[in-house]
Chains A and B, each alone.
Chain A
Amino acid sequence: MRSERHVFLTVMTAAMLVFSLTPLVLVSVFSVNASRFYAFPITGLTLQWYSDLLSDDRIWSSLLSSVLIAVGVSAISTCMGTAFAFVVVRGTGRFWRTASVLGFIPLAVPVLVLAAALQVAFVEIGLPLGYGTVIIGHTIFATPFVVLMVVAQLFRYDWRLDAAARDLGASAVETFRHVTLPILMPSIRSGAILGFLLSFNEWAIAFFTGRGFNTLPMLVYSMQRNGLPPSVLAYSSLIVIFVLAAVLLLLPFVLRMLVRGAAQETT
């Protein structure tokens, strides 16, 4: 009876993995196919599309814009998000409970709506559209995800550690700097990586609130409108590799959390 359940669930999970991976594997395979089209047959091996992509000057200036914006977003949203995570976990009373929920409200509003509202507001108050406006928009979009990352670890945090540090004579600030922060570092780092990736691949907010430059998604969006040139496949494949590398950096951390969780359950 137990194994029945396992078969169905295992098959579903395997199917989900196939569903998740197939499109991205396929795009990577075709990025080195000699044919110009994203279609069968596979005619030969080439790196031409990568050299097309990398010799395009627009790619490099877009990459610079995207990285500048994503680094800014990651820094700001990690600071604000980490601080707010403490409010979510430690805030008591009706006021702070309500405030905690309000902090996640952007998750419930379509990104395009936020993008349109910000564009109108920036133009209305005369703030010139540029890097700053995209960073603001992306920060509103990404911070709730950073908060979730940090909250996930903070909920399990053993506050007796703080009490012990205080009893031993550390000030509140020293306790935070030398006890709380180092312990939370893995989830703060994951939050920072998440903030970077969310901003780096975001299209709608950048499209609405950025002027005078292209981020990578904006550029690739305009490239693919003219019949999907093969350099877009090369771009997709590079993004997949880049994101995979960034996420694998998190593997030891996630594994440790899961193993510790399992250990707690058995004791």
Chain B
Amino acid sequence: MSAGLVKNARGSGWITAAALPWLASLLVFFALPLAGLAALSLTDQSGQVSLANYASLADLASGRLDVLLRTLRIGVIVIIASLCIALPVAYYLAKVVQSPRIESLILLLVSATFLAGPLVRTVSWRGILGVHGLINESLLQLGLISEPILSLLYGELAMTLALTYNVFPFLLFTTYLSMKVIDDRIIAAARDLGASPAAAFFRVVLPLAAPGVVTGAVLVFVPTLSAVLEPEILGGTSSRLMATAIRDQFFHAHNWPLGATLTVVLIVSGTITLMLVALVTSLALRACSHYGLSTGVPSHAK
């Protein structure tokens, strides 16, 4: 018994040593700086404690509230758009395609385009949406329009498109991984029992993949909150987002306390938005179940 205790102690000591470098880094270079930022947000530029920064947000004339709401709205749109792309593709790659070669090739192509980084990915959209870009030129050639559509570039549409393009792989990867570990026999059993392909997907596959889908939804929403490049390169002047406002406070206005305030507000409101999305989704699913469209996890699958 004492040998067991010694072994346990040694085992956990080993885990402590493995965990310490990363957890200590997180404390010093992540948790403390964020706490410092929160503290800074409660001061004014002379260092006095003040709530004036937060009060200035409520001032509608400053337009900051509009920018915040636009940021959150676009974040939610990006989640929905990413779901539309990621769910069918992840299911295809994880469960439908038979060749591991095609599966890994597609995953690697998506990874490669993803890892080219947001700057390159965003800049490259200008050649598609521009006045003489791919879309306008194609439509002109086809005779569908007689002159180029000017509003494609520089606006919320272009920005939302590029944001979705830049982040949807997060959702694709997490959904793919969680679908990959689902036992094929569960899906086969659902089909044998008479479920249509769609029913099998929505009532068996999707509930089982839910953890991956939720993780991915967070991972696509979070970068949207900190998007500086996409609004600047494609958004034009009318589509400023919070991240741009924060950058400007730090680099142009040199009002760090106000920048810190905007940052804190962004994190808090972002978290609340995600919780609301989760709440609405679960309520909607519950409402669906009244009409026989239950997506509840079958008890035997747990």
CB distance from B95 to the nearest CB of A (A): 9
Are the C-beta atoms of A38 and B130 separated by less than 8 Å? yes
- Tell me the chain A residues, 69-121 only, with Cβ under 8 Å from chain B: 79-81, 83-84, 86-87, 90-91, 96, 99, 102-103, 105-114, 116-121
Are the C-beta atoms of B130 and A20 separated by less than 8 Å? no
Contacts of A246 in B (CB 8 A): 115
Contacts of B93 in A (CB 8 A): 13
Are the C-beta atoms of A86 and B127 separated by less than 8 Å? no
- Tell me the chain B residues, 84-114 only, with Cβ under 8 Å from chain A: 85, 88-89, 91-93, 96-97, 100-101, 103-113
Complex-state Cα separation, A139 to B23, whole angstroms: 12
Are the C-beta atoms of A258 and B108 separated by less than 8 Å? no
Contacts of A259 in B (CB 8 A): 100
Contacts of A228 in B (CB 8 A): 123, 126
Chain B interface: which of A23-31, A49-57, A157-165, A178-186? Answer: A23-31
User: Among B17, B123, B177, which residue has its beta carbon within 8 angstroms of that of A236?
Assistant: B123
B235 in the interface (beta carbon within 8 A): no
CB distance from A240 to the nearest CB of B (A): 5
With CB as the reference atom, state the residue of chain B lying closest to A248: B108
CB 8 Å contact bits of B233-267 with A (1 = contact, 0 = none): 10000000001001100100000100110010011
- Tell me the chain B residues, 103-145 only, with Cβ under 8 Å from chain A: 103-113, 115-121, 123-128, 130-134, 137
Chain A interface: which of B31-39, B50-58, B275-283, B284-292? Answer: B31-39
Contacts of A194 in B (CB 8 A): 115
Contacts of B137 in A (CB 8 A): 40-41
- Tell me the chain A residues, 160-174 only, with Cβ under 8 Å from chain B: 172
Contacts of A38 in B (CB 8 A): 126-127, 130
Contacts of A220 in B (CB 8 A): 119
Complex-state Cα separation, A121 to B40, whole angstroms: 10
User: Among A24, A96, A105, A140, which residue has its beta carbon within 8 angstroms of that of B113?
Assistant: A24
Complex-state Cα separation, A14 to B33, whole angstroms: 44
- Tell me the chain A residues, 186-239 only, with Cβ under 8 Å from chain B: 194, 197-198, 200-204, 207-208, 217, 220-221, 224, 228, 232-233, 235-236, 239
A47 in the interface (beta carbon within 8 A): no
Are the C-beta atoms of B33 and A121 separated by less than 8 Å? yes
CB distance from A63 to the nearest CB of B (A): 14
Complex-state Cα separation, A201 to B111, whole angstroms: 14
User: Among B26, B34, B89, B107, which residue has its beta carbon within 8 angstroms of that of A254?
Assistant: B107
Complex-state Cα separation, A224 to B105, whole angstroms: 32
Contacts of A250 in B (CB 8 A): 108, 111
Complex-state Cα separation, A120 to B14, whole angstroms: 35
Are the C-beta atoms of A116 and B124 separated by less than 8 Å? no
Complex-state Cα separation, A110 to B15, whole angstroms: 29
B19 in the interface (beta carbon within 8 A): yes
User: Among B14, B22, B109, which residue has its beta carbon within 8 angstroms of that of A21?
Assistant: B109
**Contact size range, A:** 35 or more
Complex-state Cα separation, A228 to B229, whole angstroms: 14
Are the C-beta atoms of B197 and A1 separated by less than 8 Å? yes
B190 in the interface (beta carbon within 8 A): no
Are the C-beta atoms of A201 and B22 separated by less than 8 Å? no
With CB as the reference atom, state the residue of chain A lying closest to B274: A108
A22 in the interface (beta carbon within 8 A): yes
Contacts of B123 in A (CB 8 A): 27, 224, 228, 232-233, 236
User: Among A91, A108, A233, which residue has its beta carbon within 8 angstroms of that of B222?
Assistant: A108
Contacts of A86 in B (CB 8 A): 15, 18
CB distance from A179 to the nearest CB of B (A): 15
Which of B29, B131, B219 has the most A CB atoms < 10 Å from its CB? B29
Contacts of B34 in A (CB 8 A): 109, 113-114, 117
Complex-state Cα separation, A4 to B198, whole angstroms: 10
Complex-state Cα separation, A110 to B247, whole angstroms: 13
Contacts of A41 in B (CB 8 A): 132, 137
Are the C-beta atoms of A240 and B19 separated by less than 8 Å? no
Given contacts A30-B127, A204-B228, 18 further A-B contacts (CB under 8 A): A23-B128, A23-B165, A37-B132, A39-B127, A39-B130, A39-B133, A40-B133, A90-B15, A110-B267, A112-B225, A112-B243, A112-B263, A121-B29, A139-B25, A140-B30, A198-B115, A208-B250, A236-B124
**Contacts A/B (CB < 8 Å), 10 sampled:** A12-B92, A16-B110, A109-B267, A120-B33, A120-B40, A121-B33, A217-B119, A243-B112, A243-B116, A248-B108
Which residues of A line the B interface, CB within 8 A?
Answer: 1-2, 4-6, 8-10, 12-13, 16-17, 19-24, 26-27, 30, 37-41, 79-81, 83-84, 86-87, 90-91, 96, 99, 102-103, 105-114, 116-121, 124, 136-137, 139-140, 143, 147, 152, 172, 194, 197-198, 200-204, 207-208, 217, 220-221, 224, 228, 232-233, 235-236, 239-240, 243-244, 246-248, 250-251, 254-255, 258-259, 261-262, 265
Which residues of B line the A interface, CB within 8 A?
Answer: 14-15, 17-19, 21-23, 25-26, 29-30, 32-34, 36-37, 40, 85, 88-89, 91-93, 96-97, 100-101, 103-113, 115-121, 123-128, 130-134, 137, 165, 172, 177, 180, 184, 196-198, 218-219, 222-223, 225-226, 228-229, 233, 243, 246-247, 250, 256, 259-260, 263, 266-267, 270
